[in-house]
Protein backbone atom coordinates (compact mmCIF):
# COMPACT_ATOMS: atom_id res chain seq x y z
CA UNK A 1 0.00 0.00 0.00
CA UNK A 2 2.83 2.40 0.87
CA UNK A 3 4.53 1.71 -2.47
CA UNK A 4 1.28 2.26 -4.39
CA UNK A 5 0.68 5.54 -2.56
CA UNK A 6 4.20 6.82 -3.33
CA UNK A 7 3.85 5.71 -6.94
CA UNK A 8 0.59 7.69 -7.22
CA UNK A 9 2.19 10.81 -5.71
CA UNK A 10 5.20 10.59 -8.05
CA UNK A 11 2.96 10.08 -11.08
CA UNK A 12 0.92 13.17 -10.25
CA UNK A 13 4.08 15.19 -9.57
CA UNK A 14 5.50 14.11 -12.91
CA UNK A 15 2.30 15.09 -14.71
CA UNK A 16 2.39 18.51 -13.01
CA UNK A 17 6.00 19.07 -14.05
CA UNK A 18 5.16 18.15 -17.63
CA UNK A 19 2.61 20.94 -17.75
CA UNK A 20 5.44 23.39 -16.92
CA UNK A 21 7.99 21.75 -19.20
CA UNK A 22 6.20 20.84 -22.44
CA UNK A 23 8.43 19.14 -24.97
CA UNK A 24 7.54 21.45 -27.85
CA UNK A 25 8.69 24.75 -26.35
CA UNK A 26 12.06 25.72 -27.76
CA UNK A 27 13.95 28.69 -26.22
CA UNK A 28 12.84 30.83 -29.16
CA UNK A 29 9.18 29.91 -28.84
CA UNK A 30 9.27 30.31 -25.07
CA UNK A 31 10.22 33.97 -25.52
CA UNK A 32 7.27 34.71 -27.77
CA UNK A 33 4.52 36.69 -26.11
CA UNK A 34 1.16 35.01 -25.60
CA UNK A 35 -2.15 36.29 -24.33
CA UNK A 36 -3.35 33.04 -22.81
CA UNK A 37 -2.29 29.45 -22.19
CA UNK A 38 -4.75 26.55 -22.33
CA UNK A 39 -3.94 22.97 -21.38
CA UNK A 40 -5.74 20.15 -23.16
CA UNK A 41 -5.57 16.61 -21.81
CA UNK A 42 -5.85 13.50 -23.94
CA UNK A 43 -7.81 11.04 -21.83
CA UNK A 44 -9.17 7.52 -22.08
CA UNK A 45 -11.76 6.87 -24.75
CA UNK A 46 -9.99 8.70 -27.63
CA UNK A 47 -11.01 12.17 -26.53
CA UNK A 48 -9.73 15.51 -25.32
CA UNK A 49 -10.96 16.69 -21.94
CA UNK A 50 -12.09 19.99 -23.53
CA UNK A 51 -13.81 19.43 -26.87
CA UNK A 52 -14.62 23.13 -27.36
CA UNK A 53 -12.55 26.28 -26.84
CA UNK A 54 -13.81 29.83 -27.31
CA UNK A 55 -11.44 32.81 -27.63
CA UNK A 56 -11.49 36.31 -29.04
CA UNK A 57 -10.00 36.81 -32.50
CA UNK A 58 -6.30 37.83 -32.58
CA UNK A 59 -5.63 36.00 -29.30
CA UNK A 60 -2.05 34.73 -29.15
CA UNK A 61 -2.58 31.24 -27.79
CA UNK A 62 -0.19 28.74 -26.25
CA UNK A 63 -1.92 25.35 -26.40
CA UNK A 64 -0.41 22.56 -24.29
CA UNK A 65 -1.28 18.90 -24.86
CA UNK A 66 -0.77 16.62 -21.85
CA UNK A 67 -1.23 12.92 -22.52
CA UNK A 68 -3.01 11.18 -19.63
CA UNK A 69 -4.00 8.23 -21.83
CA UNK A 70 -2.11 4.95 -22.24
CA UNK A 71 -1.48 5.41 -25.98
CA UNK A 72 0.23 8.08 -28.09
CA UNK A 73 -1.67 11.14 -29.39
CA UNK A 74 -0.97 14.45 -31.08
CA UNK A 75 -2.80 17.75 -31.54
CA UNK A 76 -3.28 19.33 -34.96
CA UNK A 77 -5.17 22.58 -35.58
CA UNK A 78 -6.61 22.84 -39.09
CA UNK A 79 -8.28 25.41 -41.29
CA UNK A 80 -12.09 25.55 -41.09
CA UNK A 81 -13.84 22.43 -42.42
CA UNK A 82 -10.50 20.71 -43.17
CA UNK A 83 -10.36 18.11 -40.39
CA UNK A 84 -11.36 15.08 -42.48
CA UNK A 85 -9.03 16.04 -45.34
CA UNK A 86 -6.11 16.29 -42.92
CA UNK A 87 -7.01 13.00 -41.22
CA UNK A 88 -7.25 11.21 -44.57
CA UNK A 89 -3.91 12.69 -45.65
CA UNK A 90 -2.30 11.49 -42.42
CA UNK A 91 -3.59 7.98 -43.05
CA UNK A 92 -2.03 8.02 -46.52
CA UNK A 93 1.41 8.80 -45.09
CA UNK A 94 2.00 5.10 -44.52
CA UNK A 95 5.51 4.16 -43.42
CA UNK A 96 6.75 7.76 -43.15
CA UNK A 97 3.94 8.75 -40.80
CA UNK A 98 5.72 7.91 -37.55
CA UNK A 99 8.84 9.93 -38.42
CA UNK A 100 6.65 12.98 -39.13
CA UNK A 101 4.41 12.54 -36.07
CA UNK A 102 1.49 11.66 -38.39
CA UNK A 103 1.17 15.29 -39.49
CA UNK A 104 0.85 15.72 -43.28
CA UNK A 105 2.61 18.61 -45.00
CA UNK A 106 -0.35 20.57 -46.36
CA UNK A 107 -1.68 24.16 -46.10
CA UNK A 108 -4.76 22.99 -44.20
CA UNK A 109 -2.53 22.36 -41.14
CA UNK A 110 -2.17 25.60 -39.14
CA UNK A 111 -0.21 24.33 -36.13
CA UNK A 112 0.59 21.03 -34.48
CA UNK A 113 2.41 19.26 -31.68
CA UNK A 114 4.65 16.29 -32.08
CA UNK A 115 3.46 12.78 -31.28
CA UNK A 116 3.08 12.72 -27.50
CA UNK A 117 3.68 9.48 -25.64
CA UNK A 118 1.73 8.61 -22.45
CA UNK A 119 2.82 10.77 -19.52
CA UNK A 120 4.43 13.40 -21.76
CA UNK A 121 3.41 16.82 -23.09
CA UNK A 122 4.01 19.12 -26.04
CA UNK A 123 3.02 22.66 -27.03
CA UNK A 124 1.95 24.65 -30.06
CA UNK A 125 1.58 28.40 -30.59
CA UNK A 126 -1.19 29.94 -32.65
CA UNK A 127 -2.78 33.32 -33.27
CA UNK A 128 -6.53 32.76 -33.36
CA UNK A 129 -8.42 34.27 -36.27
CA UNK A 130 -12.17 34.67 -36.49
CA UNK A 131 -13.87 31.42 -37.40
CA UNK A 132 -14.23 27.77 -36.38
CA UNK A 133 -10.94 25.84 -36.37
CA UNK A 134 -10.99 22.06 -35.74
CA UNK A 135 -8.30 20.45 -33.62
CA UNK A 136 -7.75 16.73 -33.97
CA UNK A 137 -5.49 13.78 -33.22
CA UNK A 138 -4.18 12.49 -36.55
CA UNK A 139 -2.66 9.31 -35.11
CA UNK A 140 -3.92 6.44 -37.34
CA UNK A 141 -7.48 5.47 -36.47
CA UNK A 142 -8.00 8.34 -34.00
CA UNK A 143 -8.91 11.33 -36.15
CA UNK A 144 -12.50 10.38 -36.93
CA UNK A 145 -13.56 10.40 -33.28
CA UNK A 146 -10.90 12.35 -31.36
CA UNK A 147 -11.33 16.03 -32.16
CA UNK A 148 -12.72 19.33 -30.97
CA UNK A 149 -13.35 22.87 -32.16
CA UNK A 150 -11.63 26.19 -31.46
CA UNK A 151 -13.87 29.21 -32.01
CA UNK A 152 -12.54 32.69 -32.60
CA UNK A 153 -15.50 34.99 -32.01
CA UNK A 154 -16.44 38.26 -30.36
CA UNK A 155 -19.99 37.09 -29.77
CA UNK A 156 -19.89 33.68 -28.04
CA UNK A 157 -23.59 33.90 -27.21
CA UNK A 158 -24.37 33.20 -30.86
CA UNK A 159 -22.63 29.82 -30.76
CA UNK A 160 -24.84 26.72 -30.62
CA UNK A 161 -25.01 24.87 -27.29
CA UNK A 162 -22.48 22.01 -27.05
CA UNK A 163 -25.14 19.32 -27.41
CA UNK A 164 -26.21 20.84 -30.75
CA UNK A 165 -22.76 21.84 -32.02
CA UNK A 166 -22.16 20.08 -35.39
CA UNK A 167 -18.39 20.39 -34.95
CA UNK A 168 -18.27 18.27 -31.80
CA UNK A 169 -17.96 14.45 -31.77
CA UNK A 170 -21.11 12.56 -30.84
CA UNK A 171 -19.82 10.43 -27.98
CA UNK A 172 -21.52 7.10 -27.37
CA UNK A 173 -23.65 7.34 -30.50
CA UNK A 174 -23.98 4.81 -33.28
CA UNK A 175 -24.88 7.50 -35.77
CA UNK A 176 -22.56 9.50 -37.93
CA UNK A 177 -22.73 13.26 -38.12
CA UNK A 178 -25.43 13.15 -40.76
CA UNK A 179 -27.60 10.82 -38.69
CA UNK A 180 -27.06 7.60 -40.66
CA UNK A 181 -27.36 4.52 -38.49
CA UNK A 182 -24.21 2.42 -38.14
CA UNK A 183 -24.99 -1.02 -36.68
CA UNK A 184 -21.27 -1.73 -36.15
CA UNK A 185 -21.05 0.84 -33.36
CA UNK A 186 -19.07 3.48 -35.26
CA UNK A 187 -19.76 7.12 -34.35
CA UNK A 188 -19.22 8.10 -38.00
CA UNK A 189 -20.05 6.63 -41.38
CA UNK A 190 -17.30 4.22 -42.39
CA UNK A 191 -16.01 4.35 -45.95
CA UNK A 192 -14.43 1.10 -47.10
CA UNK A 193 -11.62 0.25 -47.57
CA UNK A 194 -10.72 1.38 -44.04
CA UNK A 195 -7.65 0.73 -41.90
CA UNK A 196 -7.62 0.62 -38.08
CA UNK A 197 -4.60 0.23 -35.83
CA UNK A 198 -6.30 -1.40 -32.87
CA UNK A 199 -6.17 -4.34 -30.44
CA UNK A 200 -7.68 -7.45 -32.02
CA UNK A 201 -8.58 -10.83 -30.53
CA UNK A 202 -6.19 -13.74 -31.15
CA UNK A 203 -3.46 -11.45 -32.40
CA UNK A 204 -0.33 -9.72 -31.13
CA UNK A 205 -0.38 -6.06 -30.03
CA UNK A 206 0.66 -4.82 -33.49
CA UNK A 207 -2.66 -5.71 -35.12
CA UNK A 208 -3.98 -3.84 -38.15
CA UNK A 209 -7.65 -4.35 -39.06
CA UNK A 210 -8.69 -3.70 -42.66
CA UNK A 211 -12.28 -3.51 -43.88
CA UNK A 212 -12.97 -3.95 -47.60
CA UNK A 213 -16.06 -3.37 -49.73
CA UNK A 214 -17.85 -6.18 -51.50
CA UNK A 215 -16.88 -6.42 -55.17
CA UNK A 216 -19.00 -7.73 -58.05
CA UNK A 217 -21.85 -8.67 -55.73
CA UNK A 218 -19.63 -10.24 -53.10
CA UNK A 219 -19.96 -9.55 -49.37
CA UNK A 220 -18.10 -7.00 -47.28
CA UNK A 221 -14.86 -8.65 -46.17
CA UNK A 222 -12.22 -7.81 -43.58
CA UNK A 223 -8.94 -9.16 -42.34
CA UNK A 224 -6.45 -8.76 -39.51
CA UNK A 225 -2.75 -8.35 -40.33
CA UNK A 226 -0.25 -8.86 -37.52
CA UNK A 227 2.58 -6.39 -38.14
CA UNK A 228 4.60 -8.01 -35.37
CA UNK A 229 5.05 -11.19 -37.41
CA UNK A 230 4.37 -9.67 -40.87
CA UNK A 231 1.54 -12.07 -41.55
CA UNK A 232 -2.13 -12.30 -42.42
CA UNK A 233 -3.69 -13.50 -39.16
CA UNK A 234 -7.33 -14.16 -40.10
CA UNK A 235 -10.15 -13.00 -42.39
CA UNK A 236 -13.92 -12.74 -42.11
CA UNK A 237 -16.97 -11.67 -44.11
CA UNK A 238 -20.22 -9.87 -43.37
CA UNK A 239 -18.87 -6.71 -41.73
CA UNK A 240 -15.88 -4.90 -40.30
CA UNK A 241 -15.25 -4.14 -36.60
CA UNK A 242 -17.02 -2.64 -33.60
CA UNK A 243 -14.67 -0.45 -31.53
CA UNK A 244 -17.29 0.98 -29.16
CA UNK A 245 -16.05 -0.84 -26.04
CA UNK A 246 -12.44 0.11 -26.70
CA UNK A 247 -13.18 3.76 -27.44
CA UNK A 248 -15.22 4.09 -24.25
CA UNK A 249 -12.49 2.47 -22.13
CA UNK A 250 -8.74 2.75 -21.77
CA UNK A 251 -7.79 0.43 -24.60
CA UNK A 252 -7.86 -2.63 -22.33
CA UNK A 253 -10.77 -4.20 -24.22
CA UNK A 254 -10.38 -5.93 -27.56
CA UNK A 255 -12.09 -4.78 -30.72
CA UNK A 256 -15.09 -6.90 -31.72
CA UNK A 257 -15.35 -8.55 -35.12
CA UNK A 258 -18.58 -8.07 -37.09
CA UNK A 259 -19.27 -11.07 -39.31
CA UNK A 260 -18.10 -14.68 -39.67
CA UNK A 261 -14.45 -15.79 -39.72
CA UNK A 262 -13.60 -18.01 -42.70
CA UNK A 263 -9.80 -18.17 -42.42
CA UNK A 264 -7.33 -18.30 -39.53
CA UNK A 265 -3.60 -18.83 -40.08
CA UNK A 266 -2.85 -22.35 -38.93
CA UNK A 267 -0.08 -24.13 -37.09
CA UNK A 268 2.04 -26.71 -38.94
CA UNK A 269 0.27 -30.01 -39.45
CA UNK A 270 -3.20 -29.02 -38.29
CA UNK A 271 -6.21 -27.01 -39.40
CA UNK A 272 -6.69 -23.48 -38.13
CA UNK A 273 -8.45 -22.80 -34.86
CA UNK A 274 -9.77 -19.57 -33.42
CA UNK A 275 -7.79 -20.14 -30.24
CA UNK A 276 -4.33 -19.58 -31.71
CA UNK A 277 -2.36 -16.76 -30.15
CA UNK A 278 0.88 -14.99 -31.02
CA UNK A 279 3.41 -14.26 -28.31
CA UNK A 280 6.46 -12.99 -30.23
CA UNK A 281 6.09 -9.68 -32.02
CA UNK A 282 8.27 -7.01 -33.54
CA UNK A 283 7.32 -3.38 -33.21
CA UNK A 284 7.52 -1.36 -36.46
CA UNK A 285 11.03 0.03 -36.84
CA UNK A 286 12.61 -2.19 -34.21
CA UNK A 287 15.35 -4.78 -34.69
CA UNK A 288 14.39 -7.95 -36.58
CA UNK A 289 12.98 -10.86 -34.60
CA UNK A 290 12.32 -14.47 -35.61
CA UNK A 291 8.80 -15.27 -36.78
CA UNK A 292 7.11 -17.50 -34.19
CA UNK A 293 7.25 -21.20 -35.02
CA UNK A 294 3.62 -21.65 -33.95
CA UNK A 295 2.30 -20.32 -37.28
CA UNK A 296 3.04 -21.24 -40.88
CA UNK A 297 4.88 -18.32 -42.49
CA UNK A 298 3.82 -18.19 -46.16
CA UNK A 299 7.16 -17.27 -47.76
CA UNK A 300 10.49 -19.07 -47.88
CA UNK A 301 13.49 -17.28 -49.38
CA UNK A 302 16.12 -19.49 -50.97
CA UNK A 303 16.54 -23.21 -50.36
CA UNK A 304 15.82 -23.14 -46.66
CA UNK A 305 14.92 -26.44 -44.98
CA UNK A 306 11.36 -27.27 -44.03
CA UNK A 307 10.45 -25.76 -40.68
CA UNK A 308 12.82 -22.81 -41.13
CA UNK A 309 11.63 -19.81 -39.09
CA UNK A 310 12.43 -16.69 -41.12
CA UNK A 311 13.69 -13.43 -39.64
CA UNK A 312 11.08 -10.77 -40.40
CA UNK A 313 10.87 -7.01 -39.88
CA UNK A 314 7.85 -4.80 -40.50
CA UNK A 315 8.57 -1.58 -42.43
CA UNK A 316 5.09 -0.03 -42.58
CA UNK A 317 2.51 0.35 -45.31
CA UNK A 318 1.26 2.76 -47.96
CA UNK A 319 -2.30 3.20 -49.23
CA UNK A 320 -3.19 2.34 -52.83
CA UNK A 321 -6.77 3.43 -53.52
CA UNK A 322 -7.30 3.16 -49.74
CA UNK A 323 -6.04 -0.45 -49.62
CA UNK A 324 -2.88 -0.86 -47.50
CA UNK A 325 0.17 -2.37 -49.17
CA UNK A 326 2.33 -3.78 -46.38
CA UNK A 327 6.10 -3.71 -46.66
CA UNK A 328 8.29 -6.08 -44.67
CA UNK A 329 11.64 -7.83 -44.87
CA UNK A 330 11.96 -11.64 -44.91
CA UNK A 331 15.48 -13.00 -44.41
CA UNK A 332 16.94 -9.81 -45.88
CA UNK A 333 14.57 -9.58 -48.88
CA UNK A 334 12.01 -6.75 -49.08
CA UNK A 335 8.44 -7.91 -49.76
CA UNK A 336 5.30 -5.88 -50.40
CA UNK A 337 1.87 -7.47 -49.95
CA UNK A 338 -1.41 -5.98 -51.17
CA UNK A 339 -4.61 -7.78 -50.09
CA UNK A 340 -8.00 -7.21 -51.73
CA UNK A 341 -11.37 -9.00 -51.58
CA UNK A 342 -12.15 -11.75 -54.06
CA UNK A 343 -14.78 -10.38 -56.49
CA UNK A 344 -18.15 -12.12 -56.42
CA UNK A 345 -17.60 -14.30 -53.36
CA UNK A 346 -15.74 -14.93 -50.14
CA UNK A 347 -11.97 -15.01 -50.33
CA UNK A 348 -8.87 -12.90 -50.80
CA UNK A 349 -6.56 -11.81 -53.61
CA UNK A 350 -3.01 -11.40 -52.30
CA UNK A 351 -0.50 -9.69 -54.57
CA UNK A 352 3.16 -10.10 -53.58
CA UNK A 353 5.96 -7.92 -54.95
CA UNK A 354 9.58 -8.86 -54.26
CA UNK A 355 12.64 -6.63 -54.52
CA UNK A 356 15.98 -8.01 -55.67
CA UNK A 357 15.12 -11.68 -55.26
CA UNK A 358 18.40 -13.30 -56.28
CA UNK A 359 17.25 -16.57 -54.76
CA UNK A 360 14.23 -18.74 -55.51
CA UNK A 361 11.08 -18.02 -53.53
CA UNK A 362 8.52 -20.53 -52.27
CA UNK A 363 4.97 -19.67 -51.30
CA UNK A 364 3.52 -22.12 -48.77
CA UNK A 365 -0.24 -22.39 -49.05
CA UNK A 366 -2.03 -22.69 -45.73
CA UNK A 367 -4.34 -25.42 -47.01
CA UNK A 368 -7.52 -25.91 -45.04
CA UNK A 369 -10.86 -27.68 -45.62
CA UNK A 370 -13.19 -25.53 -47.71
CA UNK A 371 -10.41 -23.21 -48.89
CA UNK A 372 -8.96 -23.41 -52.43
CA UNK A 373 -5.75 -21.80 -53.70
CA UNK A 374 -4.64 -20.81 -57.17
CA UNK A 375 -1.79 -18.60 -58.35
CA UNK A 376 -0.70 -16.45 -61.27
CA UNK A 377 2.70 -15.12 -62.31
CA UNK A 378 3.28 -12.64 -65.14
CA UNK A 379 -0.42 -12.91 -66.00
CA UNK A 380 -0.32 -16.69 -66.44
CA UNK A 381 -1.51 -19.50 -64.21
CA UNK A 382 1.21 -20.87 -61.95
CA UNK A 383 0.96 -24.39 -60.61
CA UNK A 384 0.90 -25.19 -56.91
CA UNK A 385 2.30 -28.61 -56.15
CA UNK A 386 1.79 -30.20 -52.75
CA UNK A 387 0.60 -26.85 -51.44
CA UNK A 388 3.71 -25.01 -52.62
CA UNK A 389 4.33 -22.47 -55.36
CA UNK A 390 7.96 -22.64 -56.50
CA UNK A 391 9.18 -19.38 -58.03
CA UNK A 392 12.56 -19.00 -59.75
CA UNK A 393 15.19 -16.43 -58.78
CA UNK A 394 14.39 -13.04 -60.26
CA UNK A 395 10.62 -13.31 -59.67
CA UNK A 396 9.33 -9.82 -59.01
CA UNK A 397 5.60 -10.37 -58.59
CA UNK A 398 2.98 -13.11 -58.16
CA UNK A 399 -0.64 -13.29 -57.02
CA UNK A 400 -2.40 -15.79 -54.77
CA UNK A 401 -6.18 -16.31 -54.93
CA UNK A 402 -7.82 -17.78 -51.82
CA UNK A 403 -11.41 -18.90 -52.44
CA UNK A 404 -13.91 -20.14 -49.86
CA UNK A 405 -15.77 -23.07 -51.41
Pairing of strands 241-242, 256-257: antiparallel
Query: What pLDDT does residue 283 have?
Result: 35
**Would the pLDDT of 89 be above 80?**
yes
Cβ proximity of 312 and 288 under 8 Å: yes
Give Cα separations from 338 to 209, 215, 291, 295 (angstroms): 14, 16, 20, 20
Q: What is the mean pLDDT of the chain?
A: 81
The answer to whether residue 275 scores a pLDDT higher than 60 is no
| DSSP 8-state class, residue 11 | H
pLDDT at residue 124 tops 60? yes
User: Is pLDDT above 50 for 272?
Assistant: no
The confidence score (pLDDT) of residue 282 equals 32
Q: What is the largest CA-CA distance in the chain?
A: 74
pLDDT of residue 32: 61
Mean pLDDT of 264-293: 40
Instruction: Tell me if 312 sits within 8 A of 382, measured CB to CB.
Output: no
Pairing of strands 207-212, 221-226: antiparallel
Confidence at residue 233, expressed as pLDDT on a 0 to 100 scale: 94
Mean pLDDT in residue range 25-45: 73
Q: Strand locations in 305-354, DSSP E?
A: 311-320, 323-330, 333-341, 347-354
Angle, CA 64 vertex, CA 58 and CA 68 arms, to 5°: 150
pLDDT tens digits for range 202-260: 888 889 999 999 999 889 999 999 999 999 999 999 889 987 776 665 556 788 888 88
pLDDT number for residue 163: 86
- Provide the residue count of the chain: 405
Task: With beta carbons less than 8 A apart as the criterion, state whether 209 and 220 touch.
Answer: no
Q: Kindly state the average pLDDT of the residues 269-274.
A: 35
pLDDT digit string, tens, across residues 147-201: 999 999 999 999 989 888 888 887 644 333 333 334 445 556 778 999 998 888 8
Q: Give the CA count within 13 Å in the CB-facing half-sphere of 395.
A: 25
Residue 9 main-chain phi, psi, to 5 deg: -65, -45
Query: Does residue 132 carry a pLDDT above 90?
Result: yes
Average pLDDT (123-127) is 94
Q: According to the per-residue pLDDT averaged within each range, which of 32-36, 88-92, 274-278, 343-347 is highest?
A: 343-347
CA 384 to chain CA centroid, nearest Å: 34
Residues paired with residue 39 on neighbouring β-strands, in sequence order: 64
> Over the stretch 68-87, which tens digit does the pLDDT of each residue have?
988 889 999 999 988 988 98
pLDDT above 90: residue 134: yes
Residue 112 has pLDDT above 50, yes or no: yes
User: In a 3-state reduction of DSSP, which class is residue 114?
Assistant: coil
Could you tell me the pLDDT band of residue 145, with boundaries at 50, 70 and 90? Answer: confident
DSSP single-letter state for residue 368: B
Note the pLDDT tens digit of each residue in 325-377.
999 999 999 999 999 999 999 999 999 999 976 899 999 999 888 899 999 99
Comparing 22-36, 37-51, 90-104, 329-343, the range with the smallest average pLDDT is: 22-36
Query: What do you get for the CA distance between the two ends of the chain, in Å?
Result: 59
pLDDT band at 271 (very low <50, low <70, confident <90, very high): very low
Whole-number pLDDT of residue 94? 77
Among 25-34, 152-161, 299-308, 386-395, the minimum mean pLDDT is found in: 25-34
290 or 295: whose pLDDT is higher?
295
Distance CA 45, CA 57 (A): 31
The SS3 assignment for 373 reads strand
Amino acid sequence: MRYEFMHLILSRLRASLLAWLPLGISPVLAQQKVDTTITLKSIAGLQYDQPRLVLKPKTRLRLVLENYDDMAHNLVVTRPNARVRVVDAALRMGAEGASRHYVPDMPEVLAHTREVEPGRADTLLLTVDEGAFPYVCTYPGHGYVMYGILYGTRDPKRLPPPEADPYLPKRGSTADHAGHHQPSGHPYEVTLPAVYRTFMPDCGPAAIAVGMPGLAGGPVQSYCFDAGICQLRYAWSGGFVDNADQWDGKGQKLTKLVGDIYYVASSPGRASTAGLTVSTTTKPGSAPAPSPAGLVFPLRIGNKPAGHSPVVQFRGYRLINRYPEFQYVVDGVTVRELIKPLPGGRGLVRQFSIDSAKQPVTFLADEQPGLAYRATRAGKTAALRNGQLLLPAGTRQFTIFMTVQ
